Amino acid sequence: MKVLKKPVFSKSSWSFKTKITDLEAKLESLSEAIHNAVESLPNWVSHTVPADPHTAELTEVINGESIDQIEATMPVSKHDHRTIGLKLGLMEFETAARISGSSWYYLINDGALLEQALVQYALSRARKAGYKMVIPPSIVKSEIVHACGFKPRDQNGEKQVYGVEGEDLALTGTAEIPLGALHSQSTVSTPVKYVGVSRAYRAEAGARGTDTAGLYRVHEFTKVELFHFTTPESAEEELEALRDFQSSIIRDLGIRAKMLNMPTTDLGAPAMKKYDCEAWMPGRGSWGELTSCSNCGDYQARRLGIKQKNKAGKLEYVHTLNGTAMAVPRVIVAIP
């Protein structure tokens, strides 16, 4: 019987093995750096976004003839929503500040009923418009937050997202995140539209100066969110329809507002185009953001692995859109 001899490795062989190990470690490090660099890139910008990067384009005036006419007929009020809410027993801020900190609040009695009425109104309108209703989780994995284009901190270093200590989890600032992930790593039939109601958590609320008084900018609130999965060919048209649907809700509530096509400096990383609706708020003496809607192209779908079959039967990434149906505290502030 032939006995196999144990192979003898030369010094050069061991040297190659060491080099391979070192190169593999460098490759892993470079791959991670490339991945992080790619993930940090924002989406493409639509050619219909305003050319001036610092000036929004007015597209619609809601419940008014012009911006000047709205400001003239609704002068700055001596009593803001906070003063009125406290007087009527609808809100409580001092106790909330004592037990939770700044930018928290209670809604009490008719204030709480008003929130429920606004939520039900938005849900009813959305369901009649063909949206499927979802109650999503408010805590998701951090990787889902990143995939949807949200960062833990903004460009000024302010904390944006609440995390769960000791866990790789985060509280969502909008139902857009769990709704976007509803079909992650799967193939979906498009178009499909969802409306989700959830609590929204914003860590940055306490760093905004005068905006911290009252309900305008808070850490936690109820929000009704709209989300679309659609084809690349239909995304632009659906964004216009989504904007018009938002306008109809605001118009029927009697709120005076303006719709703006936002410039590049106001687009988040995922959005290739965004409309903001700003309402005139006499108690604040200024315009304030009420809703927004965005076309995110395939930015989120690529990161979440969401595809559809096109007309040729080939798989391609879907396009996603999102928009606010009802951000309750802002609407309470804006109600005339």
Is residue 251 scored above 70 in pLDDT? yes
pLDDT of residue 210: 54
Confidence of residue 41 (pLDDT cuts 50, 70, 90): confident
Q: Which of 20-24, 117-121, 236-240, 317-321 has the lowest mean pLDDT?
A: 20-24
Q: What is the mean pLDDT of residues 23-36?
A: 86
Classify domain 47-334 at the CATH topology level: BirA Bifunctional Protein; domain 2 (3.30.930)
pLDDT at 35 over 70: yes
Report percent pLDDT > 90 for the chain.
Answer: 76
Average pLDDT, stretch 282-306?
A: 96
User: According to the model, what pLDDT value does residue 299 have?
Assistant: 98
Do you find a cis peptide bond into 53, omega within 30 degrees of 0? no
- The pLDDT of residue 22 is 86
What does the pLDDT average to over 296-323?
Answer: 97
Task: Give CA separation, 275 vs 120, 161, 262, 290, in Å.
Answer: 24, 23, 6, 11
Specify the pLDDT at position 17.
78
State the average pLDDT over residues 211-235: 94
Q: What is the pLDDT of residues 180-190, one digit of tens each?
A: 999 999 999 99
**Which pLDDT belongs to residue 12?**
62
Instruction: Give the SS3 label for residue 41.
Output: coil
Confidence bin at 5 (pLDDT 50/70/90): low
Nearest to 149 by CA among 8, 287, 300: 300
Q: What is the DSSP string of 290-319?
A: EEEEEE-TTHHHHHHTEEEE-TTS-EEE-E
Give me the mean pLDDT over the 276-304 stretch: 96
Q: What are phi and psi of 60, to 5 degrees?
A: -165, 145
Packing angle between helix 235-252 and helix 110-128, nearest 10 degrees? 140
Question: What pLDDT score was predicted for residue 219?
Answer: 96
Tell me what pLDDT residue 236 has. 98
The answer to which of 2-16, 88-102, 115-129 has the lowest mean pLDDT is 2-16
DSSP label at residue 265: G
Specify the DSSP class assigned to residue 271.
-
Note the pLDDT tens digit of each residue in 58-88. Answer: 999 999 999 999 999 887 887 899 999 999 9
The mean pLDDT of the chain is 92
Taking a C-beta distance cutoff of 8 angstroms, is the pair 332, 91 a contact?
Answer: no
Weakest mean pLDDT among 83-92, 106-115, 158-167, 307-316? 158-167
DSSP of 163-230:
B-TTSSEEE-SSTHHHHHGGGTTEE--S-EEEEEEEEEE-GGGGGSGGGGSTTSS-SEEEEEEEEEEE
Mean pLDDT across the stretch 51-60? 94
pLDDT at 305 over 90: yes
Lowest mean pLDDT across 211-215, 253-257, 275-279: 211-215
Summarize the confidence of residues 107-120 as an average pLDDT. Answer: 98
CA distance 84 to 238: 39
Give the pLDDT of residue 7: 58
Confidence of residue 207 (pLDDT cuts 50, 70, 90): low
Residue 280 Cα distances to 66, 107, 140, 243, 256, angstroms:
12, 23, 35, 18, 6
Q: In this predicted model, what pLDDT tens digit does every residue of 156-168 receive, in sequence order?
A: 556 789 999 999 9
Paired tokens of 250: 């605001």
